[in-house]
Structure 1
């Protein structure tokens, strides 16, 4: 345990000087050539992008050039970042030689060393400046390419190519159809010849193994993994609660996505192993694998959410009929997506005519429109059935039956609204001849829907997993609770915080995927690079790694402060002989001091020095003085109470009309337990600025006072001895100071007696006084001594 803490301390404190020196030597010998090479590669890549930009006329080409430009910018920036520390070290070495005075001569060795250092420094400075220039040129070139992409994409979406209802478009297609069929047959013959030659040269064993492996992945293995997941989720070993359903849904999503894609990859890999794929079909093979993954993902998302045959495992809030129809339509959308990607890749490889590509896009758009309309009809019927059920439930409630909980269907309303708008826009665009816009709108509608469903599923899974993992009664939760001493409530709070963190990460990933879905992957790369390089606030650069280290250091510091306080309270302070109040003061001050040191340590890890904290404190001093005056006053008063100790834990004090025992003193308030066992929370400033009565300060004794009167003819000496014997016989009355009995006054035929006795503590006064009064009444009754009051009235009745 101590070794682990020491390792974390060394990590948080930073590298040792010898390690830094070794790193510097490595940087001088290894990193500088690599950094210069990265800058040179960035310059060559940038020149290649400029040359390729002259012939770029397609979206895919512009996207590739934009990614290359951004990569060149990142290489240049990385090279500059690697050279900058070396340049700073070189400046520090030159500064050690001191400035060269005009007209002065230096010793030959120093002059030669200065010349070498200045030459190296000049070379480093030139490399840094060139890298910065290349990074700026790459950024500007990337921005210009993105503008070209945006303009070309807008022009493509707004281009009118002809309506499918127009005979002109079909006439052009009929004219170009023979040539397109001839190109497709030529591509088919090329593929057949390549396969025949590959089999003749290498045999059919490897491609057959690829096909066999694909069949095993798709059929038996996929079915077995699905059945295994369902059995595992329904078994007693599965986690209790909602994690059964969301975990099974994620498992089915992974199985349904990976296995078909891996099967396609196995087939393509088997063909490539024997060179059975001609060069013109290489891109088609890659698209085949990508299309299989994408279409399998769409179908798997629908299957794991709808589960038509097992309603109890269904996550989507739909009935059985709607689940079956929606799943069939989702599989149709997956098949249409797979066919669209593959046919477009084949058309590019065969170099078919533009009119065929346009007509293919139009037919695909109409296919998506038909699928979306069918889904909208299914959702509309579901909404009507729910509305009828709700109406019947209201009628039964009016008749006296219990009203059931009405299911909310806000997502249905949003889905129907978005679907209707997409269908309307796509139909109008198709009829008017804007086929590219129609295809784009329908594809984005499908993609956004699938993305929203996946993110929703993962959000539920992350929440269920976090709450189950850190539940007090789970296996991992019990181990963590017993090993760390955390309370069940604290463990549940940690689970909620982990769930919130995972949900934020998933939402950010979903937004990133949405950005990439609309074709702005370069912007996503820029955001990621900016996040990795850090966020600059003023002159301070905050990096994610620094934030993680600061959080780790803060947790470690707070843990060490807590361990120190527990050691003081449980081990050291009880051996010092100090009273409870002093021990509480020492442990409380140690705790707050440890918290302050942990916060300062975390800020130092972030690179925020004490001088910046002093500037911040001075800037906020005026606001703190006015806005937090009461809190600051109570805080300072609490420190005074802990140091000066006019009152301490265990004291019995009286403040105003309230009195009680002090149970806890913190830096802001003091807790006092009054006689009715309630707790009175008093600000510390009240105990410092106002008059209080400390009944137990310096070990004060309690005084019991008895006052009563006897008739004038009573034997006072007998009464005095009775009282002294009564005091001596009570175990709570002290012998020193000795009890005393005084005659207070003689008036009106009465002798007023005033008696005093002392007990060990003021807390015992009330109970002892009551016991003594009971005993006084008993003894005076036994000895026939009358007790009277000054207001005794005797009524004499005259019978005459």
Structure 2
């Protein structure tokens, strides 16, 4: 399993000078040879190589087809004006020659493209056959049964083949030592010693200095605030702890290879050495940044100091076992030892892994018991407090890890006892591999979340820059950080799943799966690709930012310089806003690869649903456009609709906001303002009318009353002199005189307050002059108790 990390095949790149026809021919030849070699493929490495060759052939064919398709389209466009030759007619010789030449070129290109498409189909079929054969061999290998390790039969077979295997390993050792001795005699010690010095320098001083540098920065005041200090330091320690030992191993191997000290047969073994060093260093660095045994405050896992120290030791042991197992497997392959020796070696490695896993499970079990006891003590303490919120939560991942580990250990032990050593090694190594992938993914998920939320936090430098440059609110920028964190975490989870399944296949299949995802998928005639989706999102955000900048320029700079009122300015800015949104959406759809013709088909297909399901929304939208265009009401108008009245504060394309007298906001659908009767108090005239009515007895001095009314109107500061106030006798009936009077103020909003003031002054003046107003007549029915019923 770990061999997949040690060496990754490098695909041969197509030379730049190859023509598309040559690429197709090479792809066909590669597929033919790979198909012929498939029958003799017996090892996973051979199948992996064949899979890479099939993928390379497919890439060649795809590239050739994409390169030739524009030429074919161009020839078809040139042939289109020539049309078809009518039956029985002749055409000019020049046209016939040109038609024949274009036809030959088109047929040749069309044939080459069809060959390329056929090669792609053959490559896919070959890849599927290779995957089936690989799965069959993988299942056969896992199900291979040998004698039980408790039986002497297994070890007797190992002892029988041991002399021959030892001879092969010693021959490999002599090959290497002789190559080193000859190279040193020929080239000298300078370059190997330089490589060794660089390796030691990278492994010790540089690695330790970079670790200390990261810790100093994380503890500094200018470091990012919040959890990013811890997760950022953990990722830094992981990178440094993995890269420095890997570079040291590479420098040592490169110096030996430069003087020719590594023979061709040991080239693969040297690659395994670099890969094993990187992988083992990764395990050690991952445990160091997650466990932090000497710095509990920086620890990312919910562990106490005792568990952290123990697990740290087991991590070092796992790294050592991994390095040794990778190198032993590489030596076994290079020396071509016997199959029974390989199986026995796998069994020994599986047993060592079992011991490490059981030790880790014991540590986690003890940790769980300590946490359970502490939680019980806290729960008892909280039970005495009436404000207790319940027992403290314990780490659920410890329980899941223990359950999974116990199941795997039991399965591996049973498989080993029955002789299924390959299965036992695979299960144990897969548990270790899954744990490494899970822990790494957990660390990267925390780091991605902290990094994204910190970058787009309104208080960070980047967040403030985004707020100032785009005009977005602080809440919108923070929401963008949360969405970016979600997308990055989803990508990390998908990547972790692909990496976790890598041991079940070859690396090429994993890379092919990733390429398939990057190529996208088709929905009808539309092909959605992740790159185009990201481009469409970027274009949409850029379009919305430009729209917002334009609207802000209109509202703050241009429209205030015009002679338009606030309502007209709002209409223009609102229409510009929604027009900008529509253009941004169309622009993003174009970037996504959806043309206007395809968009028209989608809209026509959805028109029936829009007509029924979104009828009200569409009606309000159209009504909003009518309101913005005709402006029967505008911002600042005082309107009355039904039994509600108030000031219009905002007109949107779907609804209108009206502030009523109690300062609450009334949301009115725009269709209500279009289809129903609306009284606009301030539309035709800015003046408001005051009407005062009352009745007098017949013997009252109506002339004096008229003068009192006119004097009261004249004395009030809000009453206008033009139009002048007027007083009328409305009627004389029932022994009473009905007086009706009118006056005008500068705004309808002043009517209520001015009329109240006039009532106060009028009643006071009439009372001082002794003029009584008519009062309601009270009728009392009195029953005579002595009268007849």
TM-score, normalised with respect to structure 1: 0.91
> Deviations along 1:225-279, whole A, 9 cap, x unmatched?
1111111111111111000000010001001111111111111111111111122
Shift of 1:193: 1.4
Q: 1:225 maps to what in 2?
A: 210
Q: 1:352 maps to what in 2?
A: 337
CA–CA distance in 2 between the matches of 1:95 and 1:705? 83
Shift of 1:553: 3.0
CA contact (8 A) 2:379 2:392 kept: no
Shift of 1:736: 1.9
CA–CA distance in 2 between the matches of 1:766 and 1:708? 17
Tell me the secondary structure at the aligned position of residue 757 of structure 2: helix
Q: 2:22 maps to what in 1?
A: 37
In the TM superposition, 1:17-28 aligns within 5 A as: none
Q: 2:106 maps to what in 1?
A: 121
CA contact (8 A) 1:708 1:787 kept: no
In the TM superposition, 1:329-368 aligns within 5 A as: 329-368=314-353
> Deviations along 1:731-782, whole A, 9 cap, x unmatched?
211112210123345678765533221112211100111122233244445x
CA–CA distance in 2 between the matches of 1:127 and 1:316? 59
CA–CA distance in 2 between the matches of 1:135 and 1:619? 35
Q: 2:580 maps to what in 1?
A: 594
CA contact (8 A) 2:689 2:743 kept: yes
Among 414, 419, 441, the alignment partner of 2:400 is 414
> Deviations along 1:536-571, whole A, 9 cap, x unmatched?
111222333433333333233333333333333334
CA–CA distance in 1 between the matches of 2:604 and 2:483? 34
Q: 2:668 maps to what in 1?
A: 682
Q: 1:530 maps to what in 2?
A: 516
CA contact (8 A) 1:658 1:674 kept: yes
In the TM superposition, 1:272-287 aligns within 5 A as: 272-287=257-272
Q: 1:154 maps to what in 2?
A: 139
Matched, 1:79 2:69: no
CA–CA distance in 2 between the matches of 1:485 and 1:646? 32
In the TM superposition, 1:191-206 aligns within 5 A as: 191-206=176-191
Q: 2:4 maps to what in 1?
A: none
Matched, 1:603 2:589: yes
In the TM superposition, 1:158-169 aligns within 5 A as: 158-169=143-154
Q: Which moved more, 1:133-142 or 1:528-537?
A: 528-537
CA–CA distance in 2 between the matches of 1:118 and 1:67? 37
Q: 1:257 maps to what in 2?
A: 242
CA contact (8 A) 1:43 1:134 kept: yes
> Deviations along 1:653-703, whole A, 9 cap, x unmatched?
112221111111111111111111111111122222222222222125311
Matched, 1:423 2:378: no
Q: 1:369 maps to what in 2?
A: 354
CA contact (8 A) 1:287 1:341 kept: yes
> Deviations along 1:632-653, whole A, 9 cap, x unmatched?
2222222222223222222211
CA–CA distance in 1 between the matches of 2:691 and 2:87? 98
Matched, 1:736 2:722: yes
> Deviations along 1:81-132, whole A, 9 cap, x unmatched?
2112211211222223222334444333333322222222222122112222
Where does structure 1 lack aligned partners over 5 or more consecutive residues?
Answer: 1-29, 796-800
Shift of 1:710: 5.4
Q: 2:95 maps to what in 1?
A: 110
CA–CA distance in 2 between the matches of 1:765 and 1:32? 89
Matched, 1:487 2:473: yes
Q: 2:542 maps to what in 1?
A: 556
- Greater RCO between the two (CA within 8 Å, min separation 6)? 2
Q: 2:228 maps to what in 1?
A: 243
Q: Which moved more, 1:157-166 or 1:615-624?
A: 615-624
CA–CA distance in 1 between the matches of 2:591 and 2:426? 49
Where does structure 2 lack aligned partners over 5 or more consecutive residues?
Answer: 1-14, 781-789
Matched, 1:134 2:129: no
CA–CA distance in 1 between the matches of 2:218 and 2:535? 38
CA–CA distance in 2 between the matches of 1:534 and 1:31? 26
Q: 2:82 maps to what in 1?
A: 97
Give aligned pairs, total: 765
CA–CA distance in 1 between the matches of 2:354 and 2:18? 57
In the TM superposition, 1:684-723 aligns within 5 A as: 684-709=670-695, 714-723=700-709
CA–CA distance in 2 between the matches of 1:794 and 1:779? 30
CA contact (8 A) 1:163 1:433 kept: yes
CA–CA distance in 2 between the matches of 1:287 and 1:758? 98
Among 431, 447, 450, the alignment partner of 1:461 is 447
CA contact (8 A) 2:658 2:666 kept: yes
CA contact (8 A) 2:623 2:671 kept: yes
CA–CA distance in 2 between the matches of 1:533 and 1:85? 20
Matched, 1:384 2:335: no
Residue 774 and residue 245 in structure 1: after superposition, are their counterparts in 2 closer, same or farther (change >3 A)? Answer: same
Tell me the secondary structure at the aligned position of residue 698 of structure 1: coil
Shift of 1:591: 2.0
Tell me the secondary structure at the aligned position of residue 298 of structure 1: helix
Matched, 1:183 2:168: yes
Residue 764 and residue 506 in structure 1: after superposition, are their counterparts in 2 closer, same or farther (change >3 A)? Answer: same
Residue 506 and residue 687 in structure 1: after superposition, are their counterparts in 2 closer, same or farther (change >3 A)? Answer: same
CA–CA distance in 2 between the matches of 1:552 and 1:222? 39
CA contact (8 A) 2:659 2:666 kept: yes
Among 697, 710, 713, the alignment partner of 1:727 is 713
Among 308, 314, 321, the alignment partner of 1:323 is 308
> Deviations along 1:315-346, whole A, 9 cap, x unmatched?
01111111111111111111101000001111
> Deviations along 1:256-309, whole A, 9 cap, x unmatched?
111111111111111111111122222111100000111111111111111011
TM-score, normalised with respect to structure 2: 0.92
CA contact (8 A) 1:750 1:790 kept: no
CA–CA distance in 2 between the matches of 1:241 and 1:557? 33
CA–CA distance in 2 between the matches of 1:88 and 1:510? 42
CA–CA distance in 1 between the matches of 2:378 and 2:387? 9
In the TM superposition, 1:492-507 aligns within 5 A as: 492-507=478-493
> Deviations along 1:699-720, whole A, 9 cap, x unmatched?
2531112234556655433332
CA–CA distance in 1 between the matches of 2:111 and 2:610? 50
> Deviations along 1:390-418, whole A, 9 cap, x unmatched?
22222222334875761332211211111
